[in-house]
Amino acid sequence: MNPGGLSEVTTATPEVQELADQTKGEIEQKENKKYSIFKATEYRTQVVKGTNYFIKVDCGQGEYMHLRIYEPIPQSGEKISLTSYQTGKTANDPLIYF
């Protein structure tokens, strides 16, 4: 991986699912929609001053979304934040920088 570049795509872990779960309510509010399924399937990371997580989420019925979540370094005292997200994705859409 190049400095600042994205890692390889990896199967989502329970820790990555927890990050996605922490942003679910915010996304539901922005989209004015409830997601009964919100399962992280894979992810990539980018090390910056903290870590950007690019996460593919299965929303059920063939609908996917991509999340970009920023996790600051622990010493900063900041909380994780949803930086961006993309809806209308499929299982086959590559998880790339956005």
Whether 95 is covered by a domain: the verdict is: no
**Which strand (E) or helix (H) includes residue 16?**
helix 14-31
Residue-wise pLDDT for 3-41, tens only, equals: 578 899 999 999 999 999 999 999 999 999 999 999 999
Q: CB neighbours of 17 closer than 8 A, spacing ≥ 6? A: 39, 40
Is 74 a domain residue? yes
Q: Dump pLDDT digits (tens) for 33-74.
A: 999 999 999 999 999 889 999 999 999 999 999 999 999 988
The domain that holds 39 is classified in CATH as 3.10.450.10
Report the predicted TM-score, pTM, of the whole model to 2 decimal places.
0.91
| Structural domain count of the chain | 1
At residue 82, the 3 state secondary structure works out as: strand
The closest alpha carbon to 41, from 74, 70, 63, belongs to 63
Cα separation of 90 and 98, whole Å?
16
Structural domain contains residue 19: yes
Name 46's bridge partners.
6, 52
